[in-house]
């Protein structure tokens, strides 16, 4: 990889200060992409501190302005001598308090878009506005680090907790790095956040003493510790079983509805899409489609989710064999369940025979998140 560096890029990377938010990232791609960016306008390397300051002080009004705005955003990575276009002219506006899911084909640009919104990557071309602040290729790393610490929270599929710290200490860390609260205030807030995600009895557990679902709940508590306006979620339930998925989704939906945190969630699990206000489908580096979820359908989904989570907490949910909508690159391709050998189903699902769905698989809930029977009923809405 060293052969791809230009002296300028190398120097720039070495002078970058330690970033508080790095603890929330587990992605090697972060490091790679910062070396491999191919700016469309090399002149943008110049940095104007006055302009940045002006932008930082701009009066953002969440009532009237979008919390995130992407205008004609392009991102091209350099792979050897070739440019790999990851985003090709993306326009998207997101209002404060919205819940957005991003679905799409593999390599379609979902993670790249999330990384650009999260200021982990900079666009090669185009403008990105986060809470009224304009981010472009020349934006200084210090300003980006400050935006991440103050405005954004991150939750990834791999939980990225620090193994040598307890749950409580993991949640305290971003608040300590921000330095706005006293030691006592930090501790009290960390305890309250862990109680809020149902882990009041796990404060002193280390990550390896917690289940996957519990670790992800610690990650969420950590991600919201500095009161972010926006939570960026990259496959947050990808490694979780059904029950943990339900618990985590309920926490996320509550945070969105009660604390008005804007949620942007990349997922391959189409059964989660209707928890959002809007679904953005990406393909080939572009937004292929934006779908509004009918509010009554969303309310219904959330009500069922709450009911399920209540049952989970009462210990009334049993493991059963269940049917799950499979994940394929083509979410929209429908197949017939039980029809002429297309999708095989066990006898206890014969009532689903003939229903059109995306590629479907049957697994034990303990193996993988499952789609409950209800979600593949003929009246299913996705
Ligand atoms: N650091 C990088 N260097 C080179 N190419 C990259 C880099 N990161 C992403 N790409 C390429 O950019 C394109 C978009 O990738 P991205 O990861 O954003 O897609 P995705 O929709 O998140 O895919 P998936 O669903 O498989 O995670 C792909 O062609 C990918 O190979």
- Cβ–ligand 1 distance for 328 under 6 Å, the answer no
C-alpha 149/C-alpha 62 separation (Å) is: 19
Does the pLDDT value for residue 373 go beyond 70?
no
pLDDT higher for 127 or 355?
Answer: 127
Atom number of ligand 1 nearest to Cα 268: 25
C-alpha 334/C-alpha 304 separation (Å) is: 25
Does the pLDDT value for residue 371 go beyond 50?
no
Does the pLDDT value for residue 146 go beyond 60?
yes
Q: Look up tokens 């971003």; give the residue.
A: 174
pTM beyond 0.80, yes or no: no
Q: How far is CA 348 from CA 287, 322, 324, 358, 371, in A?
A: 39, 9, 14, 20, 15
Give me the pLDDT at residue 255, please. 94
CA angle 12, 16, 22 (to 5 degrees): 130
From atom 28 of ligand 1, which residue's Cα is the shortest distance away?
A: 107
- Assigned CATH topology for domain 2-309: Rossmann fold (3.40.50)
C-alpha 342/C-alpha 316 separation (Å) is: 34
Ligand 1 centroid – CA 160 distance (Å): 20
Give me the pLDDT at residue 160, please. 85
The token duo for 172 is 């305290």
Residues 6+ apart with CB under 8 A from 73: 87, 89, 90, 91, 113, 116, 123, 125, 126, 127, 128
C-alpha 46/C-alpha 203 separation (Å) is: 46
Average pLDDT over residues 2-19: 36
The token duo for 363 is 């697994």
Give me the pLDDT at residue 303, please. 92
Tell me the CB-side half-sphere exposure of residue 275, using CA atoms within 13 A: 30
Summarised one tens digit per residue, pLDDT across range 326-357 is 433 334 444 555 554 445 455 455 555 666 55
* Three-state secondary-structure class, residue 291: strand
Q: What are phi and psi of 365, to 5 degrees?
A: -55, -30
DSSP 88: E
Q: What are phi and psi of 290, to 5 degrees?
A: -125, 125
Summarised one tens digit per residue, pLDDT across range 47-66 is 444 455 455 555 667 667 78
- Cβ–ligand 1 distance for 112 under 6 Å, the answer yes
Tell me the CB-side half-sphere exposure of residue 331, using CA atoms within 13 A: 21
Does the pLDDT value for residue 39 go beyond 90?
no
Ligand 1 centroid – CA 111 distance (Å): 7
DSSP 37: B
Residues above pLDDT 90, as percent of the chain: 43
Does the pLDDT value for residue 319 go beyond 80?
no
Q: Look up tokens 């943990």; give the residue.
A: 244
Ligand 1 centroid – CA 239 distance (Å): 20
Give me the pLDDT at residue 369, please. 39
- Cβ–ligand 1 distance for 111 under 6 Å, the answer yes
> In this predicted complex, what is the ipTM?
0.97
Question: Are 153 and 228 in contact, with CB atoms under 8 Å apart?
Answer: yes
- Cβ–ligand 1 distance for 36 under 6 Å, the answer yes
Q: How far is CA 114 from CA 32, 60, 273, 324, in A?
A: 16, 21, 16, 26
Average pLDDT, the chain: 75
Does the pLDDT value for residue 362 go beyond 50?
no
Q: How far is CA 249 from CA 140, 167, 253, 271, in A?
A: 35, 20, 6, 11
Atom number of ligand 1 nearest to Cα 33: 1
Average pLDDT over residues 190-195: 96
Summarised one tens digit per residue, pLDDT across range 264-308 is 999 988 889 889 999 999 999 999 999 999 999 999 989 989 988
CA R_g for the chain: 22
Question: Are 273 and 371 in contact, with CB atoms under 8 Å apart?
Answer: no
For the chain, give every domain's residue range: 2-309, 318-376
Does the pLDDT value for residue 44 go beyond 80?
no
Give me the pLDDT at residue 66, please. 87
């Amino acid at each position: 990889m060293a052969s791809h560096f230009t002296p300028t890029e190398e120097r720039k990377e070495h002078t970058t200060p330690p970033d508080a938010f790095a603890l929330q990232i587990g992605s090697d791609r972060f490091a790679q992409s910062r070396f491999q960016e191919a700016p469309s306008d090399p002149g943008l390397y110049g940095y104007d501190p006055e302009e940045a300051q002006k932008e930082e002080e701009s009066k953002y009004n969440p009532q009237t302005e979008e919390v995130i705005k992407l205008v004609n955003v392009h991102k091209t990575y350099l792979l050897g001598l070739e440019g790999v276009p990851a985003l090709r002219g993306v326009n998207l506006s997101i209002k404060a308090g919205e819940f957005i899911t991003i679905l799409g084909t593999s390599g379609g640009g979902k993670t790249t878009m999330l990384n650009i919104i999260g200021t982990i990557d900079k666009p090669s071309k185009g403008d990105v506005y986060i809470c009224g602040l304009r981010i472009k290729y020349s934006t200084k790393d210090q300003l980006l680090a400050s935006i991440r610490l103050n405005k954004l929270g991150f939750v990834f599929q791999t939980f990225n907790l620090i193994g040598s710290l307890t749950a409580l200490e993991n949640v305290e860390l971003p608040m300590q790095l921000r330095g706005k609260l006293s030691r006592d205030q930090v501790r009290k807030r960390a305890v309250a956040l862990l109680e809020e995600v149902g882990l009041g009895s796990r404060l002193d557990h280390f990550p390896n003493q917690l289940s996957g679902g519990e670790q992800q709940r610690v990650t969420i508590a950590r991600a919201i510790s500095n009161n972010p306006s926006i939570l960026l979620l990259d496959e947050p339930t990808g490694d979780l079983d059904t029950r943990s998925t339900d618990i985590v989704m309920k926490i996320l939906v509550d945070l969105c509805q009660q604390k008005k945190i804007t949620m942007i969630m990349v997922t391959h699990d189409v059964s989660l899409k209707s928890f959002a206000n809007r679904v953005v489908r990406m393909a080939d580096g572009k937004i292929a489609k934006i779908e509004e979820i009918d509010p009554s359908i969303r309310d219904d989904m959330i009500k069922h989710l709450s009911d399920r989570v209540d049952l989970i907490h009462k210990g009334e949910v049993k493991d059963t064999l269940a049917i799950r909508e499979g994940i394929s690159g083509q979410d929209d391709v429908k197949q017939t369940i039980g029809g002429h050998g297309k999708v095989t189903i066990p006898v206890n699902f014969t009532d689903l025979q003939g229903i059109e769905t995306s590629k479907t698989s049957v697994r034990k809930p303990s193996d993988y998140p499952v789609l409950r029977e209800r979600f593949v009923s003929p009246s299913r809405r996705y």
